[in-house]
Structure 1
């Protein structure tokens, strides 16, 4: 529902002002892939490397967001859509604050990711497909979720009884079976430098 009588209040200090102060541009790095593909691990390693370079960054992790902002949402298709919509809006605020924000969410539906992309300036949304073979992700099963899904204890689990739609043209594709976490983070750093973000 569209709210009436609400007007966006522009900040006196602009995004550009914050970027100049930070000495780098801001963007959203949207990590997508199966559970167990390494999204959160890679996002946090990248956060460490950016911090070491003096960059302002933050990780929005799927589980962490569901502890607070999205705690009432389940994993039905409708709730997944709303989960990603909210995360996109929060990520946009981080970008407006002049930071590099990393989002580590399965975000299984292509349409939802494309809708989030539309709320950002063209150069400020970077989709990163964590392309790890499904059987490797299930074999890792760091949280025991695949095992529970196979037993029928979890429903609407991506890759088991709910689909995953990989990106068609992501800005970056990283195979976490092929590269170490540190190597993958360095690849993203290199991309950010190439794009003039850092």
Structure 2
């Protein structure tokens, strides 16, 4: 047998093994098959049936994808995590945030609303909803959510900064100055707040 034939034989064996491994991952464990066969005929299989990853692992992978700026992959992983474990406010918040990053404000707002239903006292959800409403020019709704965020935590400089930006858009310059000053009182190194204040 020549060297070339030997290499071809090894390569064929390797690919056959890889195909076998892949087929094994597609087959459901016997116990899971039994459980599914015992369910009602009309009941559909859940996402858990098809994926070996638990929600935590999916969220970790989504975070890694987000750090690499692969937003579509991060979104797909989070959608799967949400299908496996619905009504998790952190997952819904991340879905909203990433949707916002890809300029899908409508979808972002839907996810934020779902997250807020689960966790009504989350200042970050209120802050994020306010930014979407501001981007859409819905200033009254944005203001309501920033006020709700401050009611939950009145020591977050980012909320005051965001409120200042909203008030500038609303042409309430004196109030905006007050918000930027408050942000700087809480965080003297808040460069963006200082820059915006200096513009006014």
- Higher relative CO (Cα under 8 Å, sequence separation at least 6) belongs to 1
Structure whose CA Rg is larger = 2
Structure ranking higher in helix proportion: 2
Structure ranking higher in strand proportion: 1
TM-score (norm 1): 0.27
TM-score (norm 2): 0.27
